[in-house]
Amino acid sequence: MPEWAITVLFLLMNGLIWGLIIALIALGLTLIFGVMGIVNMAHGDLYMLGAVLAFYLLPVSGSFWIALIAVPLITAVIAGPVERFILRPYEGHPAVTMIATVGISFILQQIALATYGGIPKKIADPVDFSFTVLGVSYPGYRLLVAAIAILIIVGIYLFLYRTNYGILIRASIQDRQMASAMGINVSSVLVTTFIIGSVLAAIAGVLAAPISQVFYLMGNDVGLLSFIVVIVGGLGSLGGTLIAALTLCSLEGVLASVLSPTQAKAAIFVVMIFVLMVRPRGLFGEREG
């Protein structure tokens, strides 16, 4: 196989793995939007929070895997009150909740800057095995990340489509008022959904920490990319979000072999504009009414 083909293959592989991480974040974003109608501008910062918490927990617990379990729990403890006391009072006012999440984003970033500092740091790979494909050594941790992300995505799917609580959430997405008339406590569904969405972003942060650098602004780019993924996939569409995440990230990965990283990012915007011109509601978005 020619060298360029091998390079493209590995870039594609990296893109797909990165796509799975982005899918976790974007699924949380679209779930929160679908149930609550909230455009969460702080979502990328929850990803950053996950990575920073993992950085702090690693020396304390001594195990990356303990951090992977503890960080979602800590995030849940933070996300619950945020929804209940900051976002809930402005329910039904999308512009206000959006501005509130911008405020939450600033607060999270500044807390991280004040405690963690402004210098990017790296977490060591939690597993040190690698394998050789086509004569190139590839880190095993990345495949582990892909496996964990797939497991979580399948878990989320099964939770939403095969459990009674999933029915509660989907009913609340489709008709909140009727859901309440069926006895569903929509208020508790809102908190739970916000927690699930936030936890997904934080888990993505923990998984990405050994791959990318941990930095208090690391959520900005990722947050933006997640928004593009959700818009291209179709707001509120879980399947669309997954497909858009994998497609856009692998495309960005492959384009990075011929373009500069900045140009590759710009190309993703071009794809988004093109998709919106052809399908204004995204690839899998549905018409209203």
The residues that touch another protein, with contacts defined as CB under 8 A, are 164, 167-168, 170-171, 174-175, 177-187
Measured from the CB of residue 200, what is the shortest distance to another protein in angstroms? 21
> For residues 50 and 71, what is the distance between their CA atoms, to the nearest angstrom?
6
- Closest CB to another protein among 182 and 258? 182
* Alpha helices, DSSP H, located in 182-237: 186-208, 218-233
Measured from the CB of residue 170, what is the shortest distance to another protein in angstroms? 6
Rounded to 5 degrees, φ, ψ at 28 are: -60, -45
- Closest CB to another protein among 61 and 180? 180
Residue 39 DSSP code: -
User: Which structure tokens are listed for 192?
Assistant: 């739970």
User: Which structure tokens are listed for 272?
Assistant: 């988004």
Measured from the CB of residue 183, what is the shortest distance to another protein in angstroms? 4
Helix (H, G, I), strand (E, B) or coil at 137: strand
The per-residue b/e assignment along 49-68, b for 16 or more CB within 10 angstroms, e otherwise, is: bbbbbbbebbeeeeebeebb
- Closest CB to another protein among 137 and 177? 177
- Closest CB to another protein among 135 and 183? 183
Measured from the CB of residue 165, what is the shortest distance to another protein in angstroms? 9
Measured from the CB of residue 284, what is the shortest distance to another protein in angstroms? 12
Give 184's contacts (C-beta < 8 A, 6+ positions apart).
168, 171, 172
- Closest CB to another protein among 61 and 187? 187
- Closest CB to another protein among 206 and 230? 230
Measured from the CB of residue 180, what is the shortest distance to another protein in angstroms? 4
Among 203, 199, 193, 242, smallest CA distance to 38 is for 193
